[in-house]
Amino acid sequence: MAYNSSVMDILVNADLCTGCGFCVDNCPQGVFELKDGTSHVVNEEDCLECHLCEVSCESGAITMEG
């Protein structure tokens, strides 16, 4: 079930992403997936806007805007 309807946009800067997987491991909703060594948003509609992905991203590749 979707939680929100595009209130926030999740942006992943592929140039900064190290592929560590912290966003995948820390997201309670499974919004992220690693593909080819880079994080990708696959279920943005399930995002709770808890910002755990943004906070856990040590490289600063993930930002939430909106």
Domains of the chain: 9-65 (3.30.70.20)
Looking at residue 5, its pLDDT comes to 54
**What tens-digit pLDDT sequence spans the chain (66 residues)?**
455 556 789 999 999 999 999 999 999 999 999 999 999 999 999 999 999 999 999 999 999 998
Looking at residue 28, its pLDDT comes to 97
Pairing of β 9-12 and β 62-65 = antiparallel
Looking at residue 51, its pLDDT comes to 97
Distance CA 66, CA 51 (A): 13
